[in-house]
Structure 1
Amino acid sequence: MKTMGFTQKIILGLLLLVGLVGAAQANVGGPAWDKAPNKTNDMGALQNGAKLFVNYCLNCHSAAFMRYNRLTDIGLTEQQIKDNLMVTNAKVGDTMIAAIDPQQAKAWFGVNPPDLTVIARSRAGAGGSGADYLYTYMRSFYKDEAKPTGWNNLVFPNVAMPHVLWQLQGERRPIYEEIKEHGEVTQVFKGWEQLKPGSMTAQQYDEAMGDLVSYLQWMGEPSQNTRVRIGIWVLLFLGVFSIVAWRLNAAYWKDIK
């Protein structure tokens, strides 16, 4: 019988750890990730998402690998970018750097807010894509006076980030149902109760978050739609070429038995 090597033991241990973490998260009874709408081909949605990103996210979070002038790819002119999306003295060719001082951010929140350039590509998991995670996360804040910021999040418990969009969404609280299984009582998330209305209805807020997340998707890979279009044409070419090659091969060998 072959014994398990050291490397195999390490891999098995990591797999068990991942399983235990997943089980622990499941016991919390948080929400499953909702499917994010895919609007990366919708220029209007991407422009609205860029506006939300600049107005609500860029104050604390940078997008250090994205330049303002790249927003021309979603249908904006450089003048529109300057007039509507640039609130600092940055130039249109500069990268999107947060206005907040990193040392102040760390003092206020305990950590520096992460860069969001590829956030939609880095948050994929067993629950779905990175876009699904962000879409659910931005719709899962609730009031929690026990936290320093006054807010908490079901998808990211004890998150340091406050709910910067609360004026749009309003204030909500999660509703749980207690379920008893095998002698243990667990709380399962069932929905939300609106405590105070925001400036948007629930449907409008969800649509706005869909626009924001679609912009974050696009920002993580601005050339993805072009890559997909080229890929389709390449596959069509290969399909036609395969048929031509097949018929040429048949014609070449038809007299050879």
Structure 2
Amino acid sequence: MNTWLSKLARIGAVAAGLAAGVAAVPASAQEEGFRLDRAPDNTANLVSLQHGAQLFVNYCLNCHSANLVRYSSLTQLGISQKEIEQNLLFTTDKVGNTMSVAMRPTDAKTWFGVTPPDLSVEARARGSDWLYTYLRSFYLDDTRPTGWNNMVFPNVGMPNVLWQLQGERTAKYEDVTDAETGEKSHRFVSFEQVKPGTMSRVDYDSAVADLVAYLTWMSEPTQHVRKQLGVWVLLFLGVLTFFAWRLNAAYWKDVK
């Protein structure tokens, strides 16, 4: 009996440690640089995912591939094969093809200084909060080859491909002097809109949330099924633990 309870205690301690480690990830990510905004969780909203898929094909798939995902997988989002063929496929692509780009890696490196990463699992690697903040943090910078820079990813080689939707902005800084050390720093204050886009700020943030939701879904299309199964597994283990506890008590009830 004591042995069984001690095992459960050790398992609980390990689980608590893992939970604490996971909870600490967003905080440490924010401490390293620009503060990240919380991304809306639209991964269960089919309309949002469909809009995100459209944005991905129209704006991201020109340079970034998603070689682990096929166009046919979009049927899981309620998009029919006919709709995929009419609205989301390029001329030579077929529904069964993976989401690849025609641009050669060598050309991409020449034009942008680096080969654009495959976005199949980028949401799992970076996190949805990072992507949501990154896509909303571009600003004009004449010192960069593309004319754009980013607060989350300084000196990034990627231009703001969504600039027509968001408009053009500049970054506003101010000089700050530390009262104790006397050290001066150049601190970011805010973005300043210099040219409006086709979307308002609220609409643009909503569109980015849809795009990030799609990228998150694309990185693991079965995540909601996995979570649902996880709940049933935990319930089963809870019931099994109860019966194992009572069985253990029955076996050892006559032992003194």
Structure 1 length-normalised TM: 0.81
Give 2:153's match in structure 1, choosing from 156, 166, 188: 156
- Distance in 1 of aligned mates of 2:186 and 2:156: 20
| Pair 1:253–1:106, CA change in 2 (3 A) | closer
Secondary structure of the equivalent of 1:33? coil
Secondary structure of the equivalent of 1:192? strand
Q: Deviation string for 1:186-215 (max 9, x for gaps)?
A: 122222111111111111111111111111
Worse-superposed segment, 228-237 or 168-177 = 168-177
Give 1:112's match in structure 2, choosing from 111, 115, 138: 115
Deviation at 1:103, TM superposition (A): 3.3
Deviation at 1:151, TM superposition (A): 1.0
Structure 2 residue 63 is matched with structure 1 residue 60: yes
Structure 2 residue 207 is matched with structure 1 residue 212: no
Letter in 1 for 2:169: R
- 1:228 aligned partner: 227
Deviation at 1:251, TM superposition (A): 5.4
Letter in 1 for 2:133: T
- 1:169 aligned partner: 166
- Distance in 2 of aligned mates of 1:204 and 1:225: 26
Deviation at 1:102, TM superposition (A): 3.0
- 1:73 aligned partner: 76
- 2:136 aligned partner: 139
- Distance in 2 of aligned mates of 1:117 and 1:77: 21
- Distance in 2 of aligned mates of 1:66 and 1:36: 23
Unaligned runs of 5+ residues in structure 1 are: 1-21, 124-129
RMSD, aligned α-carbons? 2.1
Deviation at 1:113, TM superposition (A): 1.2
Secondary structure of the equivalent of 1:117? coil
Give 1:32's match in structure 2, choosing from 30, 35, 42: 35
Deviation at 1:104, TM superposition (A): 2.8
Letter in 1 for 2:184: V
Secondary structure of the equivalent of 1:59? coil
- 1:91 aligned partner: 94
Identity %: 58
Contact 1:46 1:215 in 2 (8 A): yes
Letter in 2 for 1:157: P
Letter in 2 for 1:88: T
Worse-superposed segment, 30-39 or 46-55 = 30-39
- Distance in 2 of aligned mates of 1:131 and 1:88: 31
- 1:126 aligned partner: none
Letter in 1 for 2:120: T
- In the TM superposition, 1:15-54 aligns within 5 A as 31-54=34-57
- 1:3 aligned partner: none
Secondary structure of the equivalent of 1:98? coil
Worse-superposed segment, 184-193 or 207-216 = 184-193
- Distance in 1 of aligned mates of 2:211 and 2:154: 22
Structure 2 residue 237 is matched with structure 1 residue 238: yes
- Distance in 1 of aligned mates of 2:246 and 2:143: 73
Contact 1:61 1:115 in 2 (8 A): yes
Unaligned runs of 5+ residues in structure 2 are: 1-27
Letter in 2 for 1:235: L
Secondary structure of the equivalent of 2:192? strand
- 1:18 aligned partner: none
Contact 2:37 2:129 in 1 (8 A): yes
Structure 2 residue 97 is matched with structure 1 residue 100: no
